[in-house]
Structure 1
């Protein structure tokens, strides 16, 4: 369950405003020679208890760097009413070390800053407005796409859950298509509570906040899921995690900002008479151009592959970059719905079984997609999906700027922040 502290930005005006119960220190080191902007630092309660020996379940922590409080979000991951993780967003200079003083407190600081990340699901009311945030939702079996020739507004705002940060927004079709879409943003504020609520203001039109920038069609859009497996006749097949293959689909919010968002989609599926379950935990946080997907898969064999992808429409070229531990597959060109420059990218762990191909070369209902495949292995799969629109950042107006960005991403992922 999402608690009040999940949406509160815990920032003390000064260290003296806290009733300090115990103290400790952490040292964070940027091992890279690059600047790290808006780095997500996740600290588990278990590791913090080694620093604050007497930390109690009803206590919080302040993080002080150079005499100033660092914004922190406390997240209850397992829903038991106690926070499990502290999430901080910190920027580093090259090779910089930052010392954090920890102070335990029985009092939760009340100072609020801007919201930088948000997730929402809303149902349509009978009066054609949309209701409050829904924190848990079950999709009707094989729910058909909205027929806009019969209704003006869909049953869910923007046809399903949406998540955003200050750079980009995404949505998931909560129907049989089970595809993901992208909203390019021109402003940093949260917009997805209102986008799509008024049919006179179509999100397909360029506006001051941005627009829907991706054509989806029969593709996997912006990182939707599919399984590559063998039929009983040993034929290679690619099947979307959607439609009648999904027997149950459940949406659940874990945390709703202000610094990061986490939600889960749990799919109970049957493909080729083989039952399996996928739990996809999606997260997005301040200042980044991607969302991260962490999947737990049970019921599939090690020879099956988890496939995701990027829509392949209009003018674009597929490229790849590799480091020792990470691959980035991306496309770039005049492929936005605004007919301007857009890069789509997927980052996955580097192994010999990871590859990119095009869906049009396969026998599948999935079309017009750059596919990225990786083995199921031990049932743990992760990827990041990037959307780099030139109207969000002019650095993405050239292929050189996009390539530089992805090369920097590879270097930063190869040298994570050290926490001591």
Structure 2
């Protein structure tokens, strides 16, 4: 009996070691990566988590105490990256998406925020957080816009985030159960997927009920203008901004590609350029991206950025996907 127990312990230890080795191999050799890291071993004091250490998990149900700056999730939510750029989602009432500008093509998310909660705001060898979302939507995230107001994710019964990495892409899936805005209460799913060698994220959204006002967009920054274009077949279009709008500050471009038939109207809101989706229950996909001038082989002018966007638009015109 003792021999069986000893063998079991050895086997379980080998499996755990093998899993850790595979995770490390994934991080060091892949061109995409997603993760979510939560603190364990501490305790809640009101709405803040005190003590503990971060541990990566594949799936996380948001603690009922969690809000912005609760310090229980490393860099405030799930992150995903390609060898070109990184993104993170504020997994709280803000539900905004931020950008990590990368000066390297190495996978770097696992290193971010390990030595201090806000350390990623300081420029380092790998890069930094380069987007100030402020009161805005960030880039490509979801909200609801009614009566000239963004309603946010203040009331949600429960939120579950999952990450997945494979040889072809990395993804983050967030399920919001019981999201209440105005007089509507729905379930809502966001799936964010990034591919190797690409800046863009494909965002697929799926509401449980067709309601008005579901929106995405780009946060407004000074020193930029709104850029637009439509594909030859009139099926796809983009909105974009370019200029000295990073936190450095230096040149940053942001864009959203969308199917024209899915959008009800565009809004020049107080803090954002918004795209308002038509009410529908079927899944809807769009693409968003950032392009920072300091990335390896980065785009360094508005002319280059528009050429890059128009190339992607031509691809959508031909293939109906990126």
TM-score norm. by structure 2 comes to 0.82
Other-structure match for 2:129: 212
Deviations 1:176-221 (A, max 9, x none): 2222111001111111111111129821122210110000111001
Picking from 284, 309, 312, the partner of 1:409 is 312
CA distance in 2, matches of 1:161, 1:283: 12
Structure with greater Cα Rg: 1
CA distance in 2, matches of 1:142, 1:243: 13
Say if 2:166 is the partner of 1:257.
yes
Q: 1:176 to 1:134 in 2, by over 3 A?
A: same
CA distance in 2, matches of 1:379, 1:270: 19
Q: Secondary structure at the match of 1:133?
A: strand
Q: 1:142 to 1:227 in 2, by over 3 A?
A: farther
Unaligned runs of 5+ in 1: 10-109, 148-153, 230-235, 361-367
Q: Secondary structure at the match of 2:54?
A: coil
Other-structure match for 2:236: 326
CA distance in 1, matches of 2:118, 2:159: 30
Worse-matched range after superposition: 374-383 or 277-286: 374-383
What are the equivalent positions in structure 2 for 1:187-206 lying under 5 Å apart? 187-199=104-116, 202-206=119-123
Cα RMSD, aligned residues only = 2.9
Other-structure match for 1:41: none
Say if 2:194 is the partner of 1:284.
yes
Other-structure match for 2:29: 114
What are the equivalent positions in structure 2 for 1:333-344 lying under 5 Å apart? 333-344=243-254
In the TM superposition, what is the alpha-carbon distance from 1:358 to its structure 2 partner? 2.2
CA distance in 1, matches of 2:191, 2:151: 18
TM-score norm. by structure 1 comes to 0.64
Say if 2:67 is the partner of 1:156.
no
Unaligned runs of 5+ in 2: 1-17, 43-50
Q: 1:414 to 1:174 in 2, by over 3 A?
A: same
Higher helix share: 2
What are the equivalent positions in structure 2 for 1:1-400 lying under 5 Å apart? 114-126=29-41, 130-141=53-64, 143-146=66-69, 154-199=71-116, 202-229=119-146, 236-244=147-155, 246-253=156-163, 255-268=164-177, 269-301=179-211, 304-323=212-231, 324-351=234-261, 353-360=263-270, 368-394=271-297, 396-400=299-303
